Chains A and B, each alone.
Chain A
Amino acid sequence: MADQKEVRRLKDLACDMRKKLLYLCGTYEGVVHIGGDLSMTDLLIGLFHYGMNVDPSDLQSPTRDRFILSKGHGAVCMYIAMALRGFFDYDDILEKYGKLDSPYGMHVCKVYLPGAECSTGSLGHGLAVSVGMALSARQKKQSHRVFCMMGDGETCEGSVWEAANTAASYNLGNLTGVVDKNSQLMSSYADDPMSYENYADRWRAFNWNAVEIDGHDMNQIVDALDNLPPVTSEKPTVIIANTIKGKGVSFMEKVIGWHAGALSTEDMEKAIAEVEAACAAERSAA
């Protein structure tokens, strides 16, 4: 059972993060992948603020857990989760996001952003890179974990399953995949036209441990991270987190148009107020 004080802290961080995301989305002049950012906000808070051993003051520590954002279009979500952890400064992100020579781009770029483990943005690439990192850790007898955050949409890519096959074949129990299963792709809902039936069983058929959780329930996120098999175990694990694209903003939730978009000031204020109200209601109910 998760430590409730810790869960409270994480929930508050997630509330803060949603507001920061929406504020950026409302003040940045271009579009932001806000739908998928909001669907994995709770997961990234769980990972960067609880589950992963990371240290903003020592980016190259050999013992750090590695995090690969395979759904690289969720970059700003990662930047803000990391900023809240002390890696970056939120105001700096606000000022520079998407601008010329910015370290904070639409997709993660390791070349410009020390602290990012890997440049991503093209879907279906992250898991294979993570497998390479996990293989290296095994060979060097290191005891950190490698976490790879994927979107469910990108698991249409065959390369994901090639990597899944290799991870299981090489017994990479030090590798954890997290699928932000928001059941939407950019232009369609999962299951139409592509089928996501028996999704967890697909991973199990590749010889992975598959754990299904509600990706907006911080208790379940913490439990899943607490109960990962030991690093030395022989099976990779995937946490399949059922989420809602646009989570927390009524006019965004499950709306195809909000894969990426820009918010007017008025809508931004409305969205932030909604998030604030929901957080306050949740706190008073608890």
Chain B
Amino acid sequence: MRPRMTIHFGSFASARSVVGGTIHELAQKHDNVWGLAADTGGSLAAFRAEFPDRFIDVGVAEQNLAGIAAGLALEGNIPFITGMIPFMVMRACEQNRTDIAYQDLPVRLIGTGGGLTSGGGSTHNAMEDIAIMKSMVNMTVLSIGDPNMIRDILILSMEYPHPMFIRLAQGKQDRILYEPGEFEYEIGKGLTPHEGKDATIISHGEMVFESIEAANALEEEGISVRVIDMYSIKPLDKDLVLKAVKETGNILVLEDHLMEGGLASTIADFFVDEGVYPKKFKRLGIPQVYAGFGSGPEQRKKYGYDKDAAIAAVKEMLK
């Protein structure tokens, strides 16, 4: 079993800074790496200083940026778009689908503010993004909470010839979950940061932190809960899900996304398609509501999908 706590676990780092630094590093090695922003390129400042001819800021024009990224990719470049999820995903939705996904171009869309972490209210909340992006043929959808993980993912994305949407959590203050090098990441795979046998919480992004905290608390009460970080939502790590059903029976999906259309829906689809029926299956996430203001943790509490809600849900499943 992995150590319960490390010197890093639970402390904060900025995923955005890691993204900016990694794209810069990649650009030094690969002359086809571009950094793109729609007035959201702060983390790319060092990249821009060294490679001004491969940095594009179009101002507040997200759909334009997605089209430009497609044009760059058609010419053999790998454009990394950084921005805030709702505008990157929804304002540019058709360009993402028709210019990028339809042509299967290696554009990377890296968005901050996953779920209700932005604090900006419903205009800035990202609660539909996974539903929208995973519905696009050819599009790979990842959700990453740990700020170090994003570095490894961006490096391995250089060998990946398809479009990719990477959802980050808040982006500035992100929970460190794993030691650098602790896990090897792969598109289409999940990982198991906490072992258990009575139930499994499957989660992604920042919610993995809440899931591990819930599992730790439950362990003290003698309940053994497995936690899966399903950072690859599409393609889904079906084997890992199947194993969890076989070995733990009960499945709880905990996510900072609308309960309908997110990871829970992907897993429910998988269960139905494969004829796999867990003992019990429950999902916690954002209900059908336009949430207001407040921090991520405050809202998760309010809408019933935080650590405490997960603990209660697991206990209920085990009754």
> Once the chains bind, are B70 and A132 in contact (CB under 8 Å)?
yes
A127 to B281, CA, bound (A): 48
Whether B53 sits at the interface, judged by CB under 8 Å, is yes
B38-87 with Cβ < 8 A to chain A: 53-54, 56, 58-59, 61, 63-77, 79
> Once the chains bind, are B71 and A162 in contact (CB under 8 Å)?
no
Whether B99 sits at the interface, judged by CB under 8 Å, is yes
Q: How many residues of B contact A (CB 8 A)?
A: 29
* Partner among A118, A127, A159 whose Cβ is within 8 Å of the Cβ of B103: A118
A151-204 with Cβ < 8 A to chain B: 158-159, 162-163, 165-166, 169-170
Whether A4 sits at the interface, judged by CB under 8 Å, is no
> Once the chains bind, are B69 and A122 in contact (CB under 8 Å)?
no
The distance from the CB of A192 to the nearest CB of chain B, in whole angstroms, is: 27
User: Interface centre among B61, B71, B72, B76, by most A CB within 10 Å?
Assistant: B71
Given contacts A111-B103, A133-B75, are A128 and B67 in contact (CB under 8 A)?
A: yes
B residues less than 8 Å from A128 (CB atoms):
63-68, 70-71, 95, 99
Q: How many residues of A contact B (CB 8 A)?
A: 30
Whether B11 sits at the interface, judged by CB under 8 Å, is no
**25 sampled A-B residue pairs with Cβ under 8 A:** A118-B74, A118-B103, A119-B98, A121-B98, A128-B65, A128-B67, A128-B68, A128-B71, A129-B68, A129-B99, A131-B67, A132-B70, A132-B71, A132-B75, A133-B74, A134-B71, A136-B71, A136-B72, A138-B53, A162-B58, A163-B64, A163-B68, A165-B59, A165-B64, A166-B58
A285 to B250, CA, bound (A): 86
A residues less than 8 Å from B94 (CB atoms):
122, 125
Whether B293 sits at the interface, judged by CB under 8 Å, is no
Whether B12 sits at the interface, judged by CB under 8 Å, is no
B residues less than 8 Å from A158 (CB atoms):
63
> Once the chains bind, are B98 and A132 in contact (CB under 8 Å)?
no
Interface 0/1 of A109-145, CB less than 8 Å to B: 0110000011101100101111111111111100000
A121 to B97, CA, bound (A): 12
* Partner among A121, A122, A166 whose Cβ is within 8 Å of the Cβ of B64: A166
> Once the chains bind, are A139 and B53 in contact (CB under 8 Å)?
yes
Additional 12 contacts, C-beta under 8 A, given A128-B65, A131-B67: A111-B102, A111-B103, A118-B70, A118-B99, A122-B94, A129-B71, A132-B69, A132-B75, A136-B71, A138-B53, A159-B64, A163-B67
A32-64 with Cβ < 8 A to chain B: none
The closest CB in chain A to the CB of B36 belongs to: A132
User: Interface centre among B65, B69, B74, B77, by most A CB within 10 Å?
Assistant: B74
A137 to B71, CA, bound (A): 10
> Once the chains bind, are B71 and A133 in contact (CB under 8 Å)?
yes
Given contacts A110-B103, A162-B61, are A131 and B68 in contact (CB under 8 A)?
A: yes
B residues less than 8 Å from A130 (CB atoms):
71
A residues less than 8 Å from B72 (CB atoms):
132-133, 135-136
B residues less than 8 Å from A169 (CB atoms):
58
Given contacts A130-B71, A159-B67, are A136 and B95 in contact (CB under 8 A)?
A: no
A131 to B69, CA, bound (A): 9
B residues less than 8 Å from A118 (CB atoms):
70-71, 74, 99, 103
A128 to B74, CA, bound (A): 12
The distance from the CB of B58 to the nearest CB of chain A, in whole angstroms, is: 5
The closest CB in chain B to the CB of A142 belongs to: B75
The distance from the CB of A120 to the nearest CB of chain B, in whole angstroms, is: 8
The closest CB in chain A to the CB of B107 belongs to: A132
> Once the chains bind, are B58 and A135 in contact (CB under 8 Å)?
no
A190 to B107, CA, bound (A): 36
The 10 lowest CB-CB distance pairs between A and B, nearest first, are A132-B71, A128-B67, A162-B64, A136-B75, A132-B68, A129-B71, A162-B61, A133-B71, A132-B72, A139-B53
A residues less than 8 Å from B59 (CB atoms):
165
* Partner among A139, A159, A170 whose Cβ is within 8 Å of the Cβ of B54: A139
The distance from the CB of A112 to the nearest CB of chain B, in whole angstroms, is: 11
B91-109 with Cβ < 8 A to chain A: 94-95, 98-99, 102-104
> Once the chains bind, are B74 and A125 in contact (CB under 8 Å)?
no
The closest CB in chain B to the CB of A159 belongs to: B63
User: Interface centre among B67, B72, B103, by most A CB within 10 Å?
Assistant: B67
The distance from the CB of B219 to the nearest CB of chain A, in whole angstroms, is: 51
Given contacts A129-B74, A132-B75, are A166 and B98 in contact (CB under 8 A)?
A: no
User: Interface centre among A125, A129, A132, A137, by most B CB within 10 Å?
Assistant: A132
